Amino acid sequence: MVEHVGVEVSAVCTALPPLRGTVEHQGSLADFIWFRTGGPAEWLVRPDDVQGLAAFLAALDPEVPVLPVGVGSNLIVRDGGVPGVVVRLPKAMAKVTIEPGIKEGSRRVRAGGAAMGITVASAARDAGIAGLEFLRGIPGTIGGAVRMNAGAYGRDTSNILIEVTLVTRNGTVETWPAAKLGYTYRHSELPAGAVVVEALFEGTPGDKAEIGAEMDRIAAEREASQPLRSRTGGSTFKNPDGGKAWALIDAAGCRGLRRGDAQVSEKHCNFLLNLGNASSADIEALGEEVRARVKAQSGVELEWEIQRVGMLADDGDK
Ligand SMILES: Cc1cc2nc3c(=O)[nH]c(=O)nc-3n(C[C@H](O)[C@H](O)[C@H](O)COP(=O)(O)OP(=O)(O)OC[C@H]3O[C@@H](n4cnc5c(N)ncnc54)[C@H](O)[C@@H]3O)c2cc1C
C-alpha cells in the first residue's frame, strides 16, 4: 500500500520512489521527539516492512540524505528541520521473540528496531534471561540503543548484542556481528543512513524474580534522580575519562541555568529541559554555554552525547 499524507501525490512521485508505507512531506518531528522542539522532516517516511524500506532506499537518489530516528530521546532536531528523508520504523517492526542460544540451555532475545528498551528488558525477564535489565532505564528504541551503544550501571548495548540486521543507505539488507560496529562508550561505527531493523541479544540464565527486582530497582533509582516526565533529551554530554559530566556542570555553577525556556535541570544537571516554549536553538545554545563554563572552570571539554541533527532556522540562531 502506498499512502501519501499531507502532500500532493504527484510531488512525492517526482521526488521520491514509491514506498510500501507512508510518506509525509514536511512531517512533524516535534510531535514525538522528547524535547518537542525543532523543524519538520522534508520527507517523513514510515515503511511497512523491511523489504519495502530496502526497495525504497535502493531506488532513492543517492544524493538524498537519510536519517533514521527512534523516539528522539537523545536528539535535538534543529529549528530549520531535517533535509532529505527521515525514516521512522512502524510498530510492526517492534516485535520481540525468544529463541535458543548456541550454548545448551541458553536463550536469546530477538527484537525489532522499533521495540522499546523496557519491552525487551521485560521479555528477557519473563524468559529468565539476565543481563538485559539496564534496558529498563533507557526510554528509547532498540535502533537508537544499537546506534548509541546505550547503557547504564556499568553495562551497555555492546555487552549483550550478538548481531544486528540493518538496511544500508543503498538498500541492501545485511546482518552484521556486533564486533563490526566498532563499539566504544556511547559510540558505534554504524554507517550514515543505515537503518537498524533488528537486533539479537544474549544474556545469561537467571531467576525471574531477581531480574524483576533489579528492574524495579533501576526504575525507582531513575525516578529519584532524573527528570523523567519533562521535555528532555537524556544525558546531554558524555562522561569524560575518569569523571562525571554532571559533577563538572554542577561545579561550574550551571545547575538551573536558563536561556529562555531552556534550562539545565535542577534534578540532574547533565539533563537539559524545555520548560515550555524553548526552541532547539535555545537548547543547543544553552548546552554550548554549559560547555564553555565547564571548560573555563575545570579545563575539561565536554563532548555532546545528544545527537544534533538538521539545519538552523533561516533567521539564524534565535
Ligand atoms: C529520561 C532519559 C533517560 C535516559 N537514560 C539513558 C541512559 O541511562 N543511558 C543511555 O545510554 N541513554 C539514555 N538516554 C538516552 C536515550 O534514551 C538513548 O540514547 C536511546 O538509545 C535513544 O533511542 P531513541 O530511539 O530515542 O533514538 P533517537 O534519540 O531517536 O536517535 C538517537 C540516535 O540513534 C539513531 N537511530 C535511532 N533509531 C535508529 C535506527 N532504527 N537505526 C539506526 N539509527 C537509529 C538516530 O539517527 C540518532 O543518531 C536517556 C534519555 C532520556 C530522555
**Could you tell me which residues come within 8 angstroms of residue 69 by beta carbon, excluding any fewer than 6 positions away?**
29, 33, 75, 86, 87, 88, 144
Q: Which residue type sits at 236?
A: T
Q: How far apart are CA 264 and CA 270, in angstroms?
A: 7
Q: For residue 235, indicate whether it is catalytic.
A: yes
- pLDDT tens figures, 214-239: 999 999 999 999 999 999 999 999 99
Tell me phi and psi for residue 31, to 5 degrees.
-65, -30
217 belongs to a structural domain: no
Does residue 47 line the site of ligand 1, with CB under 6 A? no
Co-location of 157 and 125 in the same domain: yes
Tell me 59's DSSP state: H
Q: How far apart are CA 177 and CA 172, in angstroms?
A: 16
What angle do the packed helices 117-126 and 208-225 form, to 10 degrees?
150
Tell me which of 186, 231, 259, 293 is the catalytic residue: 186
Per cent of the chain over pLDDT 70 is 94
Does residue 22 surpass a pLDDT of 70? Answer: yes
Co-location of 96 and 162 in the same domain: yes
Candidate of 33, 45, 74, 283 to mutate for ligand 1, largest count of ligand atoms within 8 Å of Cβ: 74
Co-location of 84 and 103 in the same domain: no
Co-location of 40 and 151 in the same domain: no
- CATH code where residue 81 lies: 3.30.43.10
**Could you tell me which residues come within 8 angstroms of residue 91 by beta carbon, excluding any fewer than 6 positions away?**
114
Last residue of a domain, one of 42, 73, 91: 91
Co-location of 81 and 153 in the same domain: no
125 belongs to a structural domain: yes
222 belongs to a structural domain: no
Does residue 10 surpass a pLDDT of 50? Answer: no
Contact of 135 with 73, CB cutoff 8 Å = no
219 belongs to a structural domain: no
251 belongs to a structural domain: yes
Last residue of a domain, one of 55, 76, 91: 91
Whole-prediction pTM: 0.94
Overall number of domains in the chain = 3
194 belongs to a structural domain: yes
| Per-residue pLDDT band at 318 (split at 50, 70, 90) | very low
Buried/exposed 286-315: b ≥16 CB within 10 Å, e otherwise? bbebbbebbeeebebebeebbbebbeebee
235 belongs to a structural domain: yes
Last residue of a domain, one of 211, 243, 275: 211
Co-location of 97 and 182 in the same domain: yes
Q: 259-265: which pairs have CB atoms within 8 A and are 24 or more residues apart?
A: 259/285, 259/286, 259/289, 262/286, 264/290, 265/227, 265/230, 265/232
| pLDDT: which is higher, 126 or 12 | 126
Cα-to-chain-centroid distance, residue 123:
20
Where in the sequence is the domain holding 244, given as residue range(s)? 228-309
- pLDDT tens figures, 84-129: 999 999 999 999 999 998 887 788 999 999 999 999 999 999 999 9
Average model confidence (pLDDT) for the chain? 94
51 SS3 class: helix
Does residue 82 surpass a pLDDT of 60? Answer: yes
Q: What are the start-end ranges of the H helices in the chain?
A: 9-15, 50-59, 117-126, 142-148, 157-160, 208-225, 245-251, 280-298
Co-location of 245 and 205 in the same domain: no
Closest CA to 56 of 91, 87, 92: 87
**Could you tell me which residues come within 8 angstroms of residue 61 by beta carbon, excluding any fewer than 6 positions away?**
none
Please report where in the chains the cell 569524560 appears, as a residue.
Answer: 240
Does residue 6 surpass a pLDDT of 90? Answer: no
Co-location of 44 and 104 in the same domain: no
pLDDT of residue 12: 43
Co-location of 102 and 87 in the same domain: no
Strand partners, 291: none
Mean pLDDT of 173-180: 98
Q: For residue 305, indicate whether it is catalytic.
A: yes
Mean pLDDT of 173-177: 98
Tell me which of 158, 235, 265, 280 is the catalytic residue: 235
Co-location of 241 and 207 in the same domain: no
- pLDDT tens figures, 252-266: 999 999 999 999 999
- CATH code where residue 305 lies: 3.90.78.10
Does residue 193 line the site of ligand 1, with CB under 6 A? no
Does residue 303 surpass a pLDDT of 70? Answer: yes
CA angle 259, 263, 266 (to 5 degrees): 145
Co-location of 129 and 196 in the same domain: yes
Ligand 1 centroid–CA 143 distance in Å is 8
Co-location of 76 and 100 in the same domain: no
